Amino acid sequence: MTLTAIHLSASVGQNQSPIRSSEGRSDELRSLRWYQNEGLEKFRGKRHAFFAMEMRLGKTLTAIRWILTQDARHVLIVAPKTVLTAWEEELSTEGLDYINLTTLKGGIPARVPHIENPSNRFLLINYESIPRMTLVLNGCDAIIADEITKIKNFKSKSTQVLLRWAKRAKYSAGLSGQPAPESWEEIWTQMAFSYGGEWMGEKKFWPWKMRYFKQHGFDWVVLPNKVQTLKAQFHNDAYVITRADAGLANEKIYEKIVGELSDEERSIYKGIEKTWTHPSGDETKFAMVVAGWYRRITSGVLLPGMMCWKYEEIIRLITTDLKNSSIVIWCSFRQELYLLWQLMKERKISATWMSGATSYQDRQSRIKAFQQGKRRIFLVQVDCGQFGIDLSTADTCIYASSPWSYEKRAQSEDRIFKVGKTSSLLVVDLVTKNTIDETVMESLKCKNSSAKFLLQKLGIKEPKGRKDYP
Quote the CA–CA distance of 426 and 64 in Å, as a whole number. 23
CATH number 3.40.50.300 given to 251-458: yes
| Predicted local confidence at residue 301, as pLDDT | 94
Question: Structure pTM?
Answer: 0.71
pLDDT at residue 469 tops 60: no
User: Of 69-78, 144-153, 341-350, 409-418, which gets the smallest average pLDDT?
Assistant: 409-418
Q: Where are the domains of the chain?
A: 30-241, 251-458
Reported as a pLDDT band with limits 50, 70 and 90, residue 426 is very high
Fold exhibited by the domain 30-241: Rossmann fold (3.40.50)
State how beta strands 122-126 and 213-216 pair: unpaired
Asked if the domains 30-241 and 251-458 are classified in one and the same CATH topology, the answer is: yes
Edge-to-edge order in the sheet of strand 377-381: 4-7, 251-259, 425-432, 396-399, 327-331, 377-381, 351-354
Q: Report the alpha-carbon distance of residue 469 to residue 287 in Å, rounded.
A: 8
Helix axes 287-298, 263-275, angle to 10 degrees: 180
Please give the mean pLDDT across all residues of the chain. Answer: 83
**Tens digit of each residue's pLDDT (9 = 90 or more) over 290-337:** 999 999 999 999 998 888 999 999 999 999 889 999 999 999 999 999
Name the more confident of 131 and 284: 284
